[in-house]
Amino acid sequence: MKIKKIGWTTFLISSDNISVLTDPLKLKEEGLSIPKTQTDICIFTECPEEKYDDKVVSDKRDSVMEICTPGEYEVGGLMIRRDLDDDFYIIDEKNLRIVYMGGVSKDFNPEKAKNLGDVDALIIPVGNGENFMDYDNLEKVISNIDPAILIPCAYKEEGKKSTGLKTREEFVKYFGYANAQDEGYVNLARKRVEEDQKSVEVIFLK
């Protein structure tokens, strides 16, 4: 699976047969426009009350499938799961697993992040602030999930409406991620961490 950042908490997750776009309306809330994007599935933390964007068009399907409610959805070889009362998604393809937490609430209970199995990539907001988990809860969630790759999102950047957020530098310093990298995308098949490598790999997508 390939993960590419569109902006804020909006990511395009692609496999050979299917693609998933995360929370395109969150990007709009930040005053940002989404580029023309082809996808097969849109997942929403909150069910949309408006059309998300006419620039989001179908790729391999006749129309874009929208998912915003709890359940298990198998589409094109991907299994997408959202448990009842949870506001995050688990996306599986064969032996690869992505956990998307881009829209989790500020008071998210870290105990819900336990027993999620082997997680290859975790996408999670790291900006703290009034809408996101503080560093204490964030630390517990990361520890409970123990992902191979951590993909931060929703931190202080120029041009965003959200205020009072921590910067990526503050996040890296607080958590001690001295070897954080910048990349254009993540290919999980290439980046799969061996079992004997214990440290999380932090990648900021551009």
Confidence of residue 44 (pLDDT cuts 50, 70, 90): very high
- Spatial contact of 30 and 10, defined as CB atoms under 8 Å apart: no
Q: Which of 67-71, 108-112, 158-162, 190-194 has the lowest mean pLDDT?
A: 190-194
Block residue for tokens 């001690």? 176
Instruction: Tally Cβ neighbours within 10 Å of residue 67.
Output: 17
Question: Can you spell out the DSSP letters for 6-40?
Answer: EETTEEEEE-SS-EEEE-HHHHHHTT-PPPPEEES
What pLDDT is stored for residue 184 in this prediction?
97
What is the model's pTM?
Answer: 0.94
| Helix boundaries (H) for the chain | 24-29, 135-145, 168-175, 188-191
Q: Name the pLDDT band for 21 (thresholds 50, 70, 90).
A: very high
For residue 197, pLDDT over 70 is answered with no
**Cβ distance 67 to 43 under 8 Å?**
yes
User: Residue 150 has what pLDDT?
Assistant: 98
Predicted confidence at residue 195, as pLDDT, reads 52
Rounded CA separation 110/139 (Å):
9
Max mean pLDDT range (59-73, 148-162, 184-198): 59-73
Please name each of the domains of the chain with its CATH number: 2-205 (3.60.15.10)
**pLDDT, position 198:** 63
Percent helix / strand / coil, the chain, rounded to 5: 15, 35, 50
Give the tens place of pLDDT for each residue, 150-175: 999 999 987 677 778 999 999 999 99
Q: How far apart are CA 63 and CA 28, in angstroms?
A: 21
